[in-house]
Structure 1
Amino acid sequence: MHFALTDEQCALGDAVRDYLADRFALSAVRAVFEDLGGTGNPAQLWKAMGEQGWLAVCVPEEYDGLGLGLVAAQAVARAFGAGVIPGPWLPTVLAGEALALAGSDAQKASLLPAVASGALVATVALRGPAGRYDRSGVRVGADEAGRLTGSALPVDYAETAEIIVVAALEPGGEVGLYLVEPGLPGVQVTGLESYDGSVRTASVVLDGVPGQRLPGSSTAVFVDLLDRGAVLTAGDLVGLAREALARTVAYACDRVQFGRAVGSFQALKHHLADLHVAVTMSEHAVLYAAHALDAGLADRRLAVAVAKSKASDTAREVTAAMIQYHGGIGYTWEHDAHFFYKRAKREAYSYGDPIEHRDRVAAFTIDGISPTAVGS
């Protein structure tokens, strides 16, 4: 069976990549890195995300979206990773997924068109400090009246978002999803420092804050939302890894030592070949995981765990090699290699680190736990 992106999906990814390379090169990324007090969400870039339909890719057509699903969305995520692109694209898309999965008709009609157009910046708060990306990691509780108390971090772009989708443990034991406006009394949003300047994160502390429950939410929907976040993050990681590898190969072909291009030396050449194989395997793992979620396949949770663990490990290895093989210049602030390394390092721990996901792979394949089990 031949399994690959369609021509249309490839064209979408290429169009995003070309647009960003032309209008938001790494020099613009550097400006975001160095603007420590800024929002990390350049206005023109965010406007382009809305106008080009990148925020609408998963939103159903009846709510002014494209309805293309996660396979197309991970193609966009790859392009964002390749360009080390800042901005709240992923958390806004994920908040839209929460609305599409669990929102009422009124909530969908009110918010999804704004998500699709870029009129609304949104984010998700799904785990507490040092919590795992599963039910045990939720540190917000909801009482019978829907008032939320607890904390979540890191929350991407919480200082910029106009709406936050908060996961909360309910009295009956389910995990519910609630819409919270950051400006409400009892909401405290505090920015956090990050070594990755391509993102802005914050802690969110809630003290008896009234939340608007998404009526279709449940632990199963919460788990599905985590899996979608993991796949989109993995897509970003493989896009980043592919670009980092391409830049490293190009440099190895150009740099001359002892009268020869360093890329001709056997040890380096073989390692780069191994990295190419690893990136290719990761790309296909992410593609299948996105398809499995779109199609609701029985092995979707296993596929997500394989994809996220593989993409995380591969991106970290490739970006570390990028720095090493660029020699002394690769270690400097002036070189772009650290953009890729820092993003890979951060995203490896987003939506489940490799150890968490390998634990799941072992549970599903060795321990005999069903990949469809909600609590797994």
Structure 2
Amino acid sequence: MFFALTDDQREFDTAVRGYLAERFDLEAVRGVVEDVDGDGHPDSLWKAAAEQGWPAVLVPEEHEGLGLGLVEAQVIARALGAGAAPGPWRGTVLAAEAIRFGGSDEQKAQWLPKLASGEAVGAFSLRGTAPGAVPAVEYGAVADVVVVRTEGGLGLSTSFTATPVGSFDGTTRIAALTVDDVEVLPGATSEVLRQVTDRATVLVAADLVGIAREAVSRTVAYDRDRQQFGVPVGSFQAIKHALADLHVGVTMAEHAALYAAHAVDAGTDDADLAVAVAKGKASEVALQATAAMIQYHGGIGYTWEHEAHFFYKRAKRLAGQFGDADAQRERIAALTI
């Protein structure tokens, strides 16, 4: 079976990547990384994202969203990874998904339009239990609403205290939350929790795939130009073969993430397996590709001034979210043996 993006989905991908390349390139990313006291939430990028409908991608049309699917959402996630772009897009989308699947009609009417328009910023975490301490929430300090795990399922809260926590990855911001009150999502059954977790895992996998592809593309371009002994270093077999292997690995991860998004949306019998394969492969290849990016750029790749560390640190942070490669292999074994 041939499985690929449709023409409309490719156009969507081009639009997202085009905006980031023209309006929020790696110099803009560096500004966020080096502003260690800032909130890591560029107003211009968030406004543009809202105008182009990125937070609204999965929100139903009846709640002022685009009503698209997880395949389109992973297109955005992949582009954001390729651009090492900061901001609370994924947390906002996942908060909306949890409310969409598990919220009451009143909760949906209150929050989905606000999250879709970018008027409200969302955050999402499955660590800790609310009320109480919820550690390491991405963009928790700028969130208007956070969806968290409760004793019986999931809940949302607007009553919490955020304490910034340092991160080695400057393309995000982390906060520890103390959640005072939580409003239970009444429909958040174990099946809903599994559904939202799978969707979160796919979006993280897509971000990692975007990072990996960009790392390989930039490394290939550099090693075609860089000369040693009068020839491009990319012509040496030790480098050429390694990069070819990475290209194959990234391509496999790209297709795995794309199929996982389709499988989750369509509710196929192999959706759980597809998610595990996608996240396992994406975690592994993103770490390999970004490490190779540093090495095959030579001395400059190890410097702060070069952008390689943006991609490596982002990959390192995301590789463990919702299960690293080893955890996903165990999940694959449990599902197939």
TM-score band w.r.t. shorter chain: over 0.9
Structure 1 residue 332 displacement after superposition:
0.4
CA deviation map 1:250-301 (0-9, x unaligned)? 0000000001100001111011110000000000000010001100112111
Matched, 1:203 2:176: yes
Matched, 1:116 2:116: yes
Match of 2:280 in 1: 309
Structure 1 residue 151 displacement after superposition:
2.2
Q: 1:103 to 1:149 in 2, by over 3 A?
A: closer
Matched, 1:179 2:156: yes
The answer for unaligned runs of 5 or more in structure 1 is 129-139, 141-147, 171-175, 367-376
TM-score (norm 2): 0.98
Contact 1:167/1:222 (8 A) holds in 2: no
Distance 1:228 1:79 in 2: 17
Structure 1 residue 17 displacement after superposition:
0.2
Distance 1:188 1:62 in 2: 32
Structure 1 residue 221 displacement after superposition:
1.1
Matched, 1:353 2:335: no
Contact 2:137/2:174 (8 A) holds in 1: yes
Distance 1:353 1:239 in 2: 17
Of 157, 161, 165, which residue of structure 2 is paired with 1:192?
165
SS in structure 2 opposite 1:120? coil
Distance 1:190 1:177 in 2: 22
Give the counterpart letter for 1:189 in structure 2.
A
Structure 1 residue 218 displacement after superposition:
1.5
The within-5 A match list for 1:1-376 is 1-128=1-128, 140=129, 148-170=130-152, 176-181=153-158, 184=159, 187-206=160-179, 209-366=180-337
TM-score (norm 1): 0.88
Identity across aligned pairs (percent)? 59
Distance 1:210 1:255 in 2: 57
Give the counterpart letter for 2:173 in structure 1.
R
Between stretches 288-297 and 217-226, larger displacement belongs to 217-226
Give the counterpart letter for 2:100 in structure 1.
A
CA deviation map 1:60-98 (0-9, x unaligned)? 111111111100000111110110000000000000100
Structure 1 residue 356 displacement after superposition:
1.6
SS in structure 1 opposite 2:186? coil
Structure 1 residue 8 displacement after superposition:
0.7
Structure 1 residue 318 displacement after superposition:
0.3
SS in structure 2 opposite 1:180? strand
Give the counterpart letter for 2:273 in structure 1.
L
| Structure with the larger helix share | 2
SS in structure 1 opposite 2:148? strand
Q: How many residues align?
A: 337
Structure 1 residue 125 displacement after superposition:
2.1
Distance 1:67 1:259 in 2: 55
Distance 1:125 1:53 in 2: 23
